[in-house]
């Protein structure tokens, strides 16, 4: 299947932080044809092993399977769902969103509602309605009806957005953070033919709440080198200055120099830059942006793992719908493959 088709399937799947099952099952299916072994660890990370001629160096690729979303916190007497946030979501983007409540009995559609603005007081209208004042309307008559529909405390809630191609290379969809990285990881495995070193491609859990899955996965895999495949903030929209970020959608994979969790190992950064140059892949450098990726956690595991990040400049991340360039995805996979082939020679 093509990168576009894989991305469509992966982003349409649900995998709110801590409830990654649907995304994980799909990722297992997509990686299986290219892996020698595939398994799930006790925290429920998926680990696909591709054996090389030698067992060392061992390279760990990490892409997180979880997405930011919501969770049922309580149901009011009248049958409205109140919720907690899973991961960093801006309250301002929640109002009037269509969402899906994933219950044991099946998936329910709902709308995020608030007190109608028409009857809000003047000063209320000027303020952001925080998430604790919002609710999800699933059309239930009351709390008993909601229970009959299957709603339980703890059920995950995702945004109801479907993937679409809207330009030659431009696509929109939910959960690009980080199913885009998952799709790049599948593509990388697909393109890696006979290799000298060993590659572990890991779909991690619970990244959005503190890089948790990467902690246990890295300990278990015990890699020599770590590369996180993720997305980052594209700044090519009105109101963003070059100083804020110079990253642009469609201008190539992004290599992190430093973020709030990682200062990329200089050898790894040089390896990635050289691989890009030799393969004529355009790339962009990022530094000083807030946030961190699984590479931060990988780098601090055991005695330390030299790590780096290959990211895709994505617009509107952590909102219900993001936008990215398929060309950046293709180039990210190409660059990761080229870097792995170079590692064989240089490490």
Give the residue with the Cβ less far from Zn ion, 213 or 306. Answer: 213
| Cα 48 from Cα 219, distance rounded (Å) | 15
Give the residue with the Cβ less far from Zn ion, 151 or 295. Answer: 295
Tally of CB atoms within 10 A around 238: 4
Give the residue with the Cβ less far from Zn ion, 155 or 178. Answer: 178
List 20, 44, 207, 286, catalytic entry: 207
What is the torsional sign of CA 305, 306, 310, 316? positive
**Residues in the site for Zn ion, rule: CB under 5 A?**
177-178, 230
**Residue of closest CB approach to Zn ion:** 178
Query: Mapping DSSP to helix (H, G, I), strand (E, B) and coil, where does residue 286 land?
Result: strand
Token pair listed for 102: 């994933």
Is 173 within 8 Å of 322 (Cβ atoms)?
yes
- If you count them, how many residues does the chain have? 347
As measured in angstroms, the least distance from the Cβ of 317 to Zn ion is 8
Tally of CB atoms within 10 A around 23: 28
Q: Give me the phi and psi of 126, to 5 degrees please.
A: -80, -20
Give the residue with the Cβ less far from Zn ion, 103 or 204. Answer: 204
Is 215 within 8 Å of 297 (Cβ atoms)?
yes
CA-based nearest residue to 329, from 169, 99, 114: 169
List all residues 6 or more positions away from 57 whose beta carbon is below 8 Å from its beta carbon: 197, 198, 223, 224, 225, 343, 347
As measured in angstroms, the least distance from the Cβ of 115 to Zn ion is 33
Give the residue with the Cβ less far from Zn ion, 8 or 230. Answer: 230
As measured in angstroms, the least distance from the Cβ of 207 to Zn ion is 6
As measured in angstroms, the least distance from the Cβ of 308 to Zn ion is 15
Give the residue with the Cβ less far from Zn ion, 134 or 186. Answer: 186
As measured in angstroms, the least distance from the Cβ of 175 to Zn ion is 10
Q: Given the DSSP bridges, would you call strands 164-165 and 37-40 parallel, antiparallel or unpaired?
A: unpaired
| Cα 187 from Cα 333, distance rounded (Å) | 6
C-alpha 1 chain-centroid distance: 20
| Active site (annotated) includes residue 207 | yes
Is 19 within 8 Å of 155 (Cβ atoms)?
no
User: Mind telling me the catalytic residues?
Assistant: 207
């Amino acid at each position: 299947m093509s990168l576009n088709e894989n991305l469509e399937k992966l982003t349409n799947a649900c995998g709110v932080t801590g409830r990654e099952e649907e995304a994980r099952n799909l990722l297992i299916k997509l990686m299986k044809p290219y892996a020698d072994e595939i398994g799930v660890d006790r925290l429920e990370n998926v680990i696909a092993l591709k054996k090389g001629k030698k067992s060392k160096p061992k390279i760990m690729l990490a892409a997180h399977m979880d997405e930011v979303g919501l969770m049922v916190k309580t149901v009011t007497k009248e049958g409205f769902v109140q919720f907690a946030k899973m991961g960093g979501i801006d309250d301002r983007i929640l109002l009037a969103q269509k969402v899906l409540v994933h219950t044991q009995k099946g998936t329910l559609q709902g709308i995020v509602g608030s007190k109608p603005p028409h009857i809000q007081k003047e000063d209320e209208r000027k303020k952001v309605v925080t998430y604790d004042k919002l609710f999800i309307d699933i059309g239930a008559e009351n709390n008993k009806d909601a229970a009959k529909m299957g709603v339980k405390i703890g059920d995950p809630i995702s945004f109801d957005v479907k993937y679409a191609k809207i330009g030659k290379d431009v696509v929109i969809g939910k959960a690009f953070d980080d199913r885009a990285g998952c799709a790049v990881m599948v593509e990388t495995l697909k393109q890696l033919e006979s290799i000298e070193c060993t590659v572990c491609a890991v779909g991690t859990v619970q990244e959005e709440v503190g890089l948790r899955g990467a902690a246990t996965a890295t300990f278990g895999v015990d890699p020599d080198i770590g590369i996180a495949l993720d997305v980052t903030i594209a700044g090519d929209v009105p109101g963003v200055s070059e100083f804020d970020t110079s990253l642009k959608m469609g201008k190539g994979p992004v290599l992190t120099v430093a973020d709030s969790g990682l200062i990329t190992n200089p050898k790894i950064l040089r390896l990635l830059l050289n691989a890009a140059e030799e393969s004529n892949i355009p790339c962009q450098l990022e530094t000083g942006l807030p946030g961190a990726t699984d590479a931060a956690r990988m780098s601090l595991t055991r005695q330390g793992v030299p790590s780096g990040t290959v990211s895709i400049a994505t617009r509107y991340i952590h909102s219900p719908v993001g936008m990215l360039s398929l060309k950046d995805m293709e180039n990210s996979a190409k660059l990761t493959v080229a870097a792995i082939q170079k590692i064989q020679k240089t490490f």
